[in-house]
Amino acid sequence: MKRLHTTQSDFEADFAALLEARTGVETSVTEPVRDIIADIRQRGDDALRDYTARFDRLTLSPDKIRIGADEIAREADRVDADLMEALNVAAQRIEVFHAQQLPENLEYTDDAGLTLGMRWTALDAVGLYVPGGKAAYPSSVLMNALPAKVAGVERIAMCVPCPDGVLNPLVLAAARVCGVTEIYRVGGAQAVAALAYGTNAIAPVDRIVGPGNAYVAEAKRQVFGHVGIDSIAGPSEVLVVADAENNPRFVALDLLAQAEHDELAQAVLITNDSAFADKVAAAVEAELKTLPRAAIAARSWADHGAIIVVRDWDEAAAIANRLAPEHLEVMLNAPEDFAAKVRHAGAMFLGRFCPEAVGDYVGGPNHVLPTSRTARFASGLSVFDFLKRTTSIATGPDGLRRVGPAGVALARAEGLGAHALSLSARLDELGWNER
């Protein structure tokens, strides 16, 4: 863990190093992923089965690529009732929040007599990637599938790797809660390629969303353009802004909740009180003694953790904007005042009783959020990821008479003769007297 203080003379250099350490991560899987995608495009399901055998140690006959309804039901039924209830609470809250996001169509007729519009429509088909192994989270299924469902997407195709053939009952139960029934037991770059280009077993989709490892991220990057993708997710991050009135243990647990995700995760505390910083640091060490995922969390905290002591909250807000954190907890009095100063953050958690984990599960807003400072330009997953816009212009002769001549002038200036003629031929028929 790095300890910084804005009063240090070398604060700027230390802080820059902290930022830089997070942005220098490069993947080196470009070529293998390119080969996998080409192979899937060429050999389809045969290639998909080969890679699944190699990477997941799972031999699939063609009719077993898709998980059967009976298997889904059997596995999902193993989840105990309390947990199903928790999944349902989460799903209901996520669905309600995302329904609030649904935008309105636009249509108006302006002074020139043109009727202008913008209409939102849902994508036809979406691919949902769910990681396998240690990161197979049912909450991730809810967060990816429900916005698509709320947006009105008719077909949601889910891919989840099942190493050694082991199905994850929680993931399948979460899919059932979302009404997702089309599920394939494949993963990695091969699953992304199959979703993008289609195989015999898997019809192609229009957009692929969901987190994954470096191979999955690189595959999404490579199929981008042929299909849509969501943001490329990096390691998770939290910035906690807290004053000395907080319980240091709560702050420590919030930092560790990020750190336990991944050794590359980053947890940063900003406080205005050096003694409080010490207390939090001590509480982190104390909790690490008993935490189940202590090894991962300790590594993350040691390598990427930081405590920054600031003079005041304006300074804290400026630092928050430079970090553009995925998650921002504001544990201050009147947290809304601080939040108003933050321009770049994926999601904010306001109040001393609002840990980030609320948002991971049951808050309502999405937990798929921009990482690695991409909150500067990117947003969390939402219904907007599953909608697209079609604009429209409608006009008769009167509107064309008003706006057409300026269009002719611009088309001619750009040297586009047919553009100009397509306007001027009609204007001529309407009796245009060109100067």
Q: Is 248 in the site for its own copies (CB under 8 A)?
A: no
> Which of 218, 237, 326, 329 is labelled catalytic?
326
- Contact stretch for its own copies (CB under 8 A) within 4-12, 66-74, 89-97, 309-317: 89-97
- Contact stretch for its own copies (CB under 8 A) within 47-55, 176-184, 309-317, 340-348: 340-348
CB 54, min distance to its own copies, A: 26
Residue closer to its own copies (CB basis): 62 or 351 = 351
Phi, psi of 313 (to 5 degrees): -75, -25
Q: Is 310 in the site for its own copies (CB under 8 A)?
A: no
Q: Is 149 in the site for its own copies (CB under 8 A)?
A: no
Per CB under 8 A, the list member of 47, 189, 297, 323 interacting with its own copies is 297
| CA torsion angle 283 288 292 297 (round to 10) | 100
Q: Please check whether residue 412 is in contact with residue 147, taking contact to mean a CB–CB distance below 8 angstroms.
A: no
Residue 391: how many other CB atoms lie within 10 Å: 9
Residue 338 host element (H or E): helix 335-339
Q: Please check whether residue 281 is in contact with residue 307, taking contact to mean a CB–CB distance below 8 angstroms.
A: yes
CB 350, min distance to its own copies, A: 4
- Order of strands, sheet of 125-129, starting from the edge strand that comes earlier in the sequence: 182-184, 155-159, 125-129, 207-209, 228-229
Per CB under 8 A, the list member of 145, 201, 219, 232 interacting with its own copies is 232
Return the residues of window 150-179 that contact its own copies according to CB under 8 A: 170
Q: Is 374 in the site for its own copies (CB under 8 A)?
A: yes
d(CA 396, CA 109): 12
Q: Please check whether residue 188 is in contact with residue 55, taking contact to mean a CB–CB distance below 8 angstroms.
A: yes
CB 53, min distance to its own copies, A: 27
Residue closer to its own copies (CB basis): 17 or 83 = 83
CB 247, min distance to its own copies, A: 7
Residue closer to its own copies (CB basis): 69 or 106 = 106
Per CB under 8 A, the list member of 289, 292, 312, 433 interacting with its own copies is 292
Quote the Cα angle for 268-270-276, to 5°.
110
Task: Indicate the SS3 state at residue 285.
Answer: helix
Identity (one letter) of the amino acid at 316?
A
Q: Is 181 in the site for its own copies (CB under 8 A)?
A: no
Residues annotated in a binding site for NAD(+): 129, 190, 213
Q: Is 433 in the site for its own copies (CB under 8 A)?
A: no
CB 145, min distance to its own copies, A: 15
Identify the sign of the CA torsion 300, 304, 309, 311: negative
Residue for token digits 């709560």? Answer: 250
d(CA 116, CA 426): 20
Per CB under 8 A, the list member of 2, 5, 64, 249 interacting with its own copies is 249
Q: Estimate to the nearest angstrom the gap between the alpha carbon of 356 and the chain centroid.
A: 16
**Sheet strands (E) in 79-173:** 106-109, 115-122, 125-129, 155-159
Residues in binding contact with its own copies, number by CB under 8 A: 128
> Which of 98, 327, 344, 367 is labelled catalytic?
327
Return the residues of window 12-71 that contact its own copies according to CB under 8 A: 23
- Contact stretch for its own copies (CB under 8 A) within 158-166, 177-185, 310-318, 404-412: 404-412
Active site residue 327: yes
- Contact stretch for its own copies (CB under 8 A) within 47-55, 159-167, 182-190, 356-364: 356-364
Active site residue 326: yes
Q: Please check whether residue 227 is in contact with residue 195, taking contact to mean a CB–CB distance below 8 angstroms.
A: yes
Q: Is 363 in the site for its own copies (CB under 8 A)?
A: yes
- Contact stretch for its own copies (CB under 8 A) within 53-61, 155-163, 302-310, 416-424: 416-424
Quote the Cα angle for 38-39-45, to 5°.
130
Q: Please check whether residue 223 is in contact with residue 196, taking contact to mean a CB–CB distance below 8 angstroms.
A: yes
Q: Is 2 in the site for its own copies (CB under 8 A)?
A: no
Residue closer to its own copies (CB basis): 60 or 332 = 332
d(CA 428, CA 221): 49
Using CA atoms, how far residue 330 sits from 125, 204, 205, 343, in Å, is 38, 42, 39, 14
Which x/- pattern, by CB under 8 A, does the window 90-119 give for its own copies? x--x--xx--xx-x--x-x-x-x-xxx-x-
Q: Please check whether residue 158 is in contact with residue 184, taking contact to mean a CB–CB distance below 8 angstroms.
A: yes
Q: Which residues are catalytic?
A: 326-327
